[in-house]
Structure 1
Amino acid sequence: MDFLGLRPTMSSKGTALVTGAAQGIGRSIALRLADDGFDVAVNDVSNNSEKLDALVDEIQGKGRASFKYIADVSQDEQVRAMISEVAEKHGSLDVMVANAGVAGIMVPFGEVSVEDWDRVMNINSRGVFLCYKYAGNQMVKQGRGGRIIGASSFVGQQGIGPAPYCASKFAVRGLTQAAARDFGAHGITVNCYAPGLIDTPMLGAVTRDAVVDQFTKMSPLKQIGEPEDIAGLVSYLVSKEAKFITGQTISINGGVFFT
């Protein structure tokens, strides 16, 4: 694990931790929370360390404290240690965004390997569970509430994608509801976002055009989303105005289906 930090020179709304922040949705969320006045800890795996360094520089350029933490969110001890150190070095953990995730291999259900199932479930659902657990416990200990947010998907509402990915994102919805019930008495809200197709590196160069074409035909808006769309939703969910929202999976899918 690797840590890089900087104290802010201006007052802060608190400390946020965003996992899977090196690119795509996570990166946009981290930048938006910095704009909103939070100090932001950013996490990803070691392969993305240089991208995290660039993100830390960008957040610090906004006058906010930022630091990177290299950790595998599927590993219990690494998540526990990461959250503990974030709280220790910045005095608190006020916002947890469990964004890290991977896509499954696009194969028919009958050809899904156990290895791919375990990989996707470990990162997308076990990783969210561990972030919820340790962030929630830290916020309870602090005694002043907090915001916890996870990453589901529109395929976590309808099973229209690879089986492991769908299952992992359905699991996030259940985890969100269970955590919201247990942590609610402590003033902690727990919600998740369910994006439709978002223009990120996860789309992949090989299948991007076909997937984008299919999605735009399904959407009444005739377009795909941008990472900033999700960041804007997260910005609202961590705000004071969202204090009465908890246990919800919020669709942000361009209207491909209505909930």
Structure 2
Amino acid sequence: MVTGAARGIGAGISQAMAAEGAHLVIVDLLADQAAEVAMTIIENGGVAKSVAADVTDREQVKAVIDFAVTSYGNLDAWFNNAGVNDPREFLSIDKENWDFIHDVNCWGVVVGMQEAARRFIEQGAPGKIVNTASSVGRQGVGVIAPYCASKAAVISLTQSGARAFAQHGITVNGFAPGLVDTPIWEGIDKAVEAMGRPELKFSRLHSDILLGRAALPADIGPVAIFLAGSDSDYITGQIIPVDGGMVLV
């Protein structure tokens, strides 16, 4: 199951995993777009279904897990990928802005981790939890500070979850994308342009990438496949950078 999978990174990793034989549930509030992703997977010979859900609502998360188990027999991997952003200058951050971002990017991750872990434990079998962090979770940016803080929290939650669930055979890992060519940048570009900060637009940030280009969602797919499968069974509590060399730590 992949949340926030109607477009961008979520759609990309869903399609990559389906191509490897995974049975997918595409979870997103954008119901029509989620259905389109599922249909694309099916047309390409894969197996997928879609369901609309709010990742911050525990009952809805439980329901989509029930949907997956009813559809496919069990849950093997849960991807906390849904995320939001709302750029603004640091001095313009208010509680509404902060709460909007952290409700989805942090609380949604907590709920997803909890409910996936509960189902894995109930099934009596190992499971995989994978979280989408970000390079800015390790290196803040002034105009998206709440987003950076939320992704730093995802890194910490990944470590905490790994410690909490290891006794049940559940691994918890994540990946940290850098600059990825996805629809979210349309809104970010408009916001930073309005701030008078054109140097922060998508097209101007490539110079910081050692490999010379932004990522595509397809670049994230192999890491997602690795973390969801048995090849990563002896890895937990880790965040794998997939940023072309933007941040070296």
Compute the TM-score of the two structures, normalised by the length of structure 1: 0.88
Question: What corresponds to 2:194 in structure 1?
Answer: none
Out of 94, 99, 104, the residue aligned to residue 76 of structure 2 is: 94
Paired residues of 1:215 and 1:223 also in contact (CA < 8 A): no
Question: What corresponds to 2:99 in structure 1?
Answer: 118
Question: What corresponds to 2:167 in structure 1?
Answer: 185
Question: What corresponds to 1:71 in structure 2?
Answer: 53
Question: What corresponds to 1:52 in structure 2?
Answer: 34
The letter for the 2-side match of 1:238 is: A
* Structure 2: distance between partners of 1:123 and 1:150: 13
1:159 aligns with 2:140: yes
1:239 aligns with 2:236: no
Out of 18, 22, 27, the residue aligned to residue 38 of structure 1 is: 22
What is the deviation of 1:61?
2.4
What is the deviation of 1:239?
2.1
What is the deviation of 1:214?
3.5
Q: Percent identity?
A: 36
What is the deviation of 1:56?
1.5
Structure 2: 5+ residue runs without aligned partners? 191-197
Question: What corresponds to 1:226 in structure 2?
Answer: 216
Q: 1:187 to 1:115 in 2, by over 3 A?
A: same
What is the deviation of 1:205?
6.5
1:199 aligns with 2:189: no
Question: What corresponds to 2:3 in structure 1?
Answer: 19
| 1:163-182 deviations in Å (ceiling 9; x for gaps) | 21011101101111111111
1:128 aligns with 2:109: yes
* Structure 1: distance between partners of 2:65 and 2:105: 18
* Structure 2: distance between partners of 1:206 and 1:133: 31
Question: What corresponds to 1:172 in structure 2?
Answer: 154
The letter for the 2-side match of 1:42 is: I
Q: 1:199 to 1:64 in 2, by over 3 A?
A: same
Paired residues of 2:26 and 2:34 also in contact (CA < 8 A): yes
* Structure 1: distance between partners of 2:137 and 2:89: 17
* Structure 1: distance between partners of 2:139 and 2:188: 24
The letter for the 2-side match of 1:33 is: M
Greater mean alpha carbon deviation, residues 234-243 or residues 169-178: 234-243
Compute the TM-score of the two structures, normalised by the length of structure 2: 0.91
1:109 aligns with 2:90: yes
Matched position secondary structure for 2:159: helix
Question: What corresponds to 1:4 in structure 2?
Answer: none
* Structure 2: distance between partners of 1:81 and 1:128: 16
Paired residues of 1:221 and 1:254 also in contact (CA < 8 A): yes
Matched position secondary structure for 2:205: helix
Number of residue equivalences: 240
Structure 1: 5+ residue runs without aligned partners? 1-16
* Structure 2: distance between partners of 1:151 and 1:75: 19
What is the deviation of 1:39?
0.6
* Structure 2: distance between partners of 1:158 and 1:205: 21
Out of 131, 143, 160, the residue aligned to residue 124 of structure 2 is: 143
